[in-house]
A = this chain, B = another copy of it.
Amino acid sequence: MTQDMTQPVRVLVWNEHRHERKNPKVDELYPDGIHGAVASALREGGCDVRTATLDDDEHGLTEEALAWAQVVVWWGHLAHEEVKDEIVDRVVKRVYDGMGFVPLHSAHMAKPFRRLMGTGCMLKWREANDKERLWIVAPHHPIVTGLHEFVEIEREEMYGEFFDVPAPEELVFVSWFSGGEVFRSGCTWTRGKGKIFYFRPGHETYPTYHLPDVRRVLVNAAKWAAPSGVERFVQGNAKPLESI
């Protein structure tokens, strides 16, 4: 499933799509759902995009949908526990096989992310209109291409350390919050052949996914997370390659 660089990256944007239907404020900010806003950013960036939500059949994460997807972007919050374990298994297995995975914001507690991390994934949080400034600490990284030294978000939910994840393989962003906290807000890991990028911003009551810099990060992340590497790795019992 290695990426053909001449073709657009195929991205499946998944959203639990609950806040939008319960809270008029969220619906007003995201009339097409959070997935709609994220999808529009990715389409503008040249990706081939589909969307799926929790209440779709098999949460929209059918074998077919996942066979199509080169990258899954994931937003969830209220209903992590409603995601069926067999679907989680399916997503995780696809990541091992090379599918990119981009959990956003409250997806730090999403089942597939927690499974892939092997840690508790909790953090500190506060809904109090903090200002957030995401500083770039990996200036070489493809995910920050086109940005300037930081991304500023006027009002956001605060997430603070300690963020209970394994040490990121690459730390891309560190957030400053006006209330006095910091957070490792852009982190990469690899699992099997799959590349993972966690990106912090995007509380449902703020227009974060309409911000140009945030949208640029989403596009860069999808392209970076697209499959690469060996076709497959070999496991199990093996004959010697040399005489022992």
Which A residues are closer than 8 A to B by beta carbons?
A: 2, 5, 96, 98, 115-120, 122-126, 128-131, 133, 135-142, 144-149, 158, 160-164, 166-167, 169-171, 174-182, 184, 189-195, 228-231, 233-242, 244
Looking at the assembled complex, report how far the CB atom of A62 sits from the nearest CB atom of chain B, in whole angstroms.
23
Q: Are A242 and B178 in contact (CB under 8 A)?
A: yes
Q: Are A137 and B184 in contact (CB under 8 A)?
A: yes
Looking at the assembled complex, report how far the CB atom of A131 sits from the nearest CB atom of chain B, in whole angstroms.
7
Q: Are A191 and B228 in contact (CB under 8 A)?
A: no
Q: Are B244 and A129 in contact (CB under 8 A)?
A: yes
- Which of A131, A169, A178, A238 has the most chain B CB atoms closer than 10 A to its own CB? A238
Which one, B124, B231, B241, contacts A148 given CB within 8 A?
A: B231
Known: A119-B192, A137-B161. 15 other contacts (CB 8 A): A115-B118, A117-B118, A122-B235, A125-B236, A126-B239, A128-B244, A135-B161, A136-B233, A139-B162, A139-B233, A140-B229, A145-B228, A149-B233, A167-B171, A176-B177
Q: Are A229 and B182 in contact (CB under 8 A)?
A: no
- Which of A5, A130, A230 has the most chain B CB atoms closer than 10 A to its own CB? A230
Which residue of the partner chain B has the closest CB to A2? B145
Which one, B115, B141, B146, B240, contacts A126 given CB within 8 A?
A: B240
Which residue of the partner chain B has the closest CB to A124? B238
A91 to B241, CA, bound (A): 39
Q: Are A139 and B193 in contact (CB under 8 A)?
A: yes
A238 to B180, CA, bound (A): 11
Looking at the assembled complex, report how far the CB atom of A190 sits from the nearest CB atom of chain B, in whole angstroms.
5
Do A162 and B238 contact each other (CB < 8 Å), given the known contacts A129-B244, A146-B2, A192-B139?
no
Do A140 and B174 contact each other (CB < 8 Å), given the known contacts A118-B118, A124-B234?
no
A118 to B135, CA, bound (A): 23
Q: Which 8 A-B pairs have the closest CB atoms?
A: A179-B240, A180-B241, A118-B118, A162-B233, A180-B242, A142-B228, A124-B238, A122-B235
Residues of B contacting A177 with CB < 8 Å? Answer: 176
A123 to B236, CA, bound (A): 6
A236 to B193, CA, bound (A): 33
Looking at the assembled complex, report how far the CB atom of A186 sits from the nearest CB atom of chain B, in whole angstroms.
12
Residues of B contacting A137 with CB < 8 Å? Answer: 161-163, 184
